[in-house]
Structure 1
Amino acid sequence: MVKLCVLIAAVSLLPFICLSFSPENPTDRRVLVLLDDLSLKSSHSIFFDSIISRGFDVDFKLAEDPKLSLQRYGQYLYDALILFSPSTDRFGGSLDLAGVLDFVDSGHDLILAADDSASDLIRNIATECGVDFDEDSSAIVIDHKSYAVSETEGDHTLIVSDDFIQSDAILGSTKVEAPVLYKGIAHSVNAANSLVLKVLSASPSAYSANPSSKLSSPPLLSGSAISLVSVVQARNNARITITGSLDMFSNRLIRSGVQKAGDSKKYSKSGNEQFVTELSRWVFHERGHLKAVNLRHHKFGETDEPAIYRINDDLEFSVEIYEWSGKSWEPYVANDVQVQFYMMSPYVLKTLSTNQKGLYHTSFKVPDVYGVFQFKVDYQRLGYTALSLSKQIPVRPFRHNEYERFIPTAFPYYGASFTTVCMSPLALTHTLFLATVIISNAHTHSL
C-alpha cells in the first residue's frame, strides 16, 4: 500500500517535473571557453564579463586539458562553445575535430577566433563550417588606406572597418557608431553558400600578405573578397561566428580610441565592445530566435478543426509567431509571412495578416482538386531562425448527392423542355398527328 501511494505521488508530480526540465527560453546558458593561455581570461575580461552579466554560466578551461569533454553519458554538458585557442594543434581529453562538428550538428552554437598562429585544427574547423582562412599561414590583413592613425609608423596591420552587415536581427537596432579595430588574418566565404554571411568586411584597398616580405605575386585574397567576421546559421538553427582576429575581443582594442587614416573624426572608444557584445547576443539566441505555435485551421464560421475538407470549402487558417527578446517571448510583427496549401506544388499561396500581437491569419477557398494536401509555413529571413511548419489534411470530392440540382450551363435545355410542355394544344395535336403519320408510313414500308 505504501509503495502504491509513493507511485501515485510520483506520477502526479511527473507533469511538473517535465515542465521544470523543459526550457522556457532558447538562450544558451552553459558556455565552455577553451583558451591557449589562462591569461586571456584577464586580457579579454570585458567580453567575458558581458556574457556573465547576462546570466550565462561560463566555464574556462585550457584547450589541452586532459579531462576535457563536451558530453557525459550521451548528454551535452554545454550549450555553446567559445574557441579562443588558435594555436592549439590538438584538444585534450576526448574532444577532437569530429567532436566539435558533432556539437554544432546537434544544434549548439560556436564562436571561433583565430590569429596568425592558427593551427591546422582551427583552420579545418572553420573550413567545415563554410569559411576558408588564407592558405598562407604567414599572411595577415593589410590596408594602406583604412588603417588606424596611431599605427602610421607601422605596417598598417591594425585596420579600421565600419562595413557592417545591415541587419537589426544580427547586430541589434542600435547602430554601431564607431568603427571596429581589427588585427588578424583574412578569410573568404563561398558566395553560393547562403548559410554563410559576412558581418564585417574589409575595404577595397585591403589585401592579405606577409607584412615582413615583399609581394612576389598578387595576393590570394584582396578587397571585397576578404571577410573579417562571418556568421553561419545552420539548417538546424545552430549559430556560428568565425573571425581571424582574437585581438578584436581584447580589452586593449575595446578601450582604444580610433581614428581612420584620412578622416579627421576621432572616436574616444572603438566600436569593438558594442560589436562583439551584440554579435554574441545573436550567437547565443538572445535575439532573432522565432517560434511558431498553435497552427490552426477550420471551416469558415466554425471553430473545430475538421478531419477532412471538401473541395470548394471556405476555410480559415491561423498561426502564432513569437520572438525571444532575451528575457521573454514577444509578438513577432512582419508583413511577409505566407502559408501554402500544398500538394506536390502550392495550389494556394496567401500572405498572412497580423493583429500585431503575434497572431497571423487568413482565409481562402479549398481548390477544386481532391487529394492529400498540407498547410505549409516556410519562413526564412536574414538573421532569424528558420520556421518550417506543416500539417496534413485530406480533401475529398463531392458525394453523388451533394452536387447542385440545377446546373447553370444546362439552363437552355431546361428551357427547351418547359417550352415543349407549355406548347398550345393545337401545336401539340399537330405534332402528335405528324408522329402518327410517320409511324404509319414506317409500318407500311416494313410490310
Structure 2
Amino acid sequence: MARSLILVALISLLPFLSASSPSLESPKGRRVLVLLDDLAIKSSHSLYFGSLQSRGYDLDFKLADDPKIGLQRYGQYLYDGLILFCPATERFGGSLDQAAILDFVDSGHDLIIAADANASDLIREVATECGVDFDEDPVAMVIDHIGYAVSDTEGDHTLIAADDFIDCSVILGNKKIEAPVLFQGIGHSLNPSNHLVLKVLAASPSAYSANPKSKLSNPPSLTGSAISLVSVMQARNNARVLITGSLSIFSNRLFRSSVQKAGSSTRHEKAGNEQFLTEISKWIFHERGHLKAVNVKHNKVGEADEPAIYRINDDLEYSIEIYEWSGGSWEPYVSDDVQVQFYMMSPYVLKTLSTDKKGVYSTSFKVPDVYGVFQFKVEYQRLGYSSLSLSKQIPVRPFRHNEYERFIPAAYPYYGAAFSMMAGFFLFTFVHLYNK
C-alpha cells in the first residue's frame, strides 16, 4: 500500500519535474508564470501573450498576491520563465519574494519585469539587483518635447516615439525595425559597475525624467540618452532578464497604434512595439543567440584516441563543435573568432580555431617545452550570444631518459673536444715514451 502511494505521488510530480529546468533542445512547451496586478491585463495585453503562446509557451496567469504562488516544489522549479506585469505589488503571495526571484535567475531561468509610474519598492529593488536603477522620484516620467509622438495631445509629451535601438541583430533580429516604439512610463539608468546589463532602447538626447504635472524646480536626475527605456541583462549563467519602465509598451493599444514622431513627415500605420517586443522576447527565452558546444576532442596528430598525457613537443590536434539554436533546430554556428588556450597559470598557446562552416572548429599546435598540468580553455563571449566556458585538463610530461636522441647535433662541438683531447693525450704519451 505504501509503495503504491509513493508511485502515485511520483507520477503526479512528473509534469513538474519535466519543467524544472529549461530544456533548450526545444523551447516549445516551456512553462512561464505570469503575475498580474489585475486579471484585466490578461485581455488588455492579449496580443503580446498570444505571440508567446503561438510559439509554444504555456502561460500560467496568476494574481501577484495569490497565496498559492510558488516557483518550486520538492526542490524542483515548476517554471522556466517568469513575467512580472505587477508593478504596483508591494508583496507577493505564497512563498514568492525578492530572494526567491533572484534565486530563480541564479538557477539559469529567465525574467521579464515591467514597471510603471506607480512601481512599488519591491519591483524597484528586484530591478536594482539586476543592475538597473529606476528614477528615485516616485512621480517622475520620461518626457520628451522634441521626440514625442504626435498623437500625444495632452501637452506633457510623455508618450514618446523612441527609435534609438541597440545595434545587435542577435537581440533584435535581422529585420530592421522601421517604425518607432511607443513608450510611456518611467526611465532608468544602468549601474556602471554591472557590465552584464545592456541598453536596448534608449531615450533621445532631448528627453528627461521629471513630474509631468509640475514645473521643474531642480535639474532632473536623468537626462538624454543616459535614460534607458528598455534594458536586458545576460547573467554569467546565461539567464536573461528584460527590464522596462512601461507596462503599457506591451499593451494592445500601443501594439495597434499608428505612430508619427514629432518633426517627421512619415507616419507609420503601426508602431514598432509588436515587432520590437516579439523579437526581444525570442532572445530573452533563448530562441535566438543560444550556443552549445559538444564533442570536445584532442589527440596526437595521426592518432584518433585521446591520450591520458602528452609529452613536451608533441604535435596535437584540438576540435570542438558549436551550434546555435535557430528557434526550431540546432544550426552550425559560423564565426572566425573562436580561440582556444593551452593554459597553465597563463596561456602558453593561443590559437584561433578554423571552421568548416558545418559547426566543427579545429586547430593543431605543438605542445610547449614546459611540463606540468595544462588546460584546454575556450572562453567565448560575444554580444547577444550565450557565453561558452569550457576547460579540459591534461598533464604534460618531459622526455624519459630513453627517449632522448642518442647523439644530439647541438653537442657535436663537445664530442669533438672530448675525442681531440683523447687523441692529443695518446700522441703526447707516445712521443714522451719513445722520444730519445
**TM-score using structure 2 length:** 0.91
State how many pairs are aligned. Answer: 417
Relative distance call for 1:285 and 1:24 in structure 2 (3 A) is closer
Deviation by residue 1:226-265 (Cα, 9 ceiling, x = unmatched): 1000001011111000000111111111111111111111
Deviation by residue 1:391-444 (Cα, 9 ceiling, x = unmatched): 1100000011111222222222334566689x8xxx999644444489x9xxxx
Report if the CA contact (8 A) 2:64-2:89 is conserved. Answer: yes
Deviation by residue 1:90-124 (Cα, 9 ceiling, x = unmatched): 11112111111111111111000000010011101
Please give the residue correspondences for 1:110-259 in structure 2 after superposition, counting only pairs within 5 Å. 110-259=111-260
Report if the CA contact (8 A) 1:293-1:319 is conserved. Answer: yes
SS at match of 1:360: strand
CA distance in structure 2 between the partners assigned to 1:24 and 1:129 by the alignment: 23
CA distance in structure 2 between the partners assigned to 1:337 and 1:26 by the alignment: 25
1:59 corresponds in structure 2 to 60
1:34 corresponds in structure 2 to 35
Deviation by residue 1:47-101 (Cα, 9 ceiling, x = unmatched): 0000000011011111111211111111111110000000011111121111111
2:270 corresponds in structure 1 to 269
1:91 corresponds in structure 2 to 92
One-letter amino acid of the counterpart of residue 257, structure 1 = S
One-letter amino acid of the counterpart of residue 84, structure 1 = F
SS at match of 2:396: strand
CA distance in structure 2 between the partners assigned to 1:399 and 1:116 by the alignment: 74
Report if the CA contact (8 A) 2:310-2:394 is conserved. Answer: yes
Deviation by residue 1:204-238 (Cα, 9 ceiling, x = unmatched): 11100001011111101111211000001011111
One-letter amino acid of the counterpart of residue 27, structure 2 = T
Relative distance call for 1:176 and 1:432 in structure 2 (3 A) is same
Q: Percent identity?
A: 73
Higher Cα Rg, which structure: 1
2:5 corresponds in structure 1 to none
SS at match of 1:266: coil
Please give the residue correspondences for 1:405-416 in structure 2 after superposition, counting only pairs within 5 Å. 405-416=406-417
One-letter amino acid of the counterpart of residue 44, structure 1 = H
Unaligned runs of 5+ in 2: 1-16
Unaligned runs of 5+ in 1: 1-16, 441-447
Report if the CA contact (8 A) 1:33-1:81 is conserved. Answer: yes
Report if the CA contact (8 A) 2:22-2:109 is conserved. Answer: no
1:286 corresponds in structure 2 to 287
CA distance in structure 1 between the partners assigned to 2:288 and 2:187 by the alignment: 27
2:362 corresponds in structure 1 to 361
2:25 corresponds in structure 1 to 25
One-letter amino acid of the counterpart of residue 377, structure 2 = K
Relative distance call for 1:435 and 1:208 in structure 2 (3 A) is farther
CA distance in structure 2 between the partners assigned to 1:24 and 1:198 by the alignment: 26
One-letter amino acid of the counterpart of residue 271, structure 2 = S
How many Å apart are 1:278 and its aligned residue?
0.5
How many Å apart are 1:23 and its aligned residue?
3.9
SS at match of 2:249: helix
**TM-score using structure 1 length:** 0.89
CA distance in structure 1 between the partners assigned to 2:85 and 2:411 by the alignment: 79
Aligned-residue Cα RMSD (Å) equals: 2.2
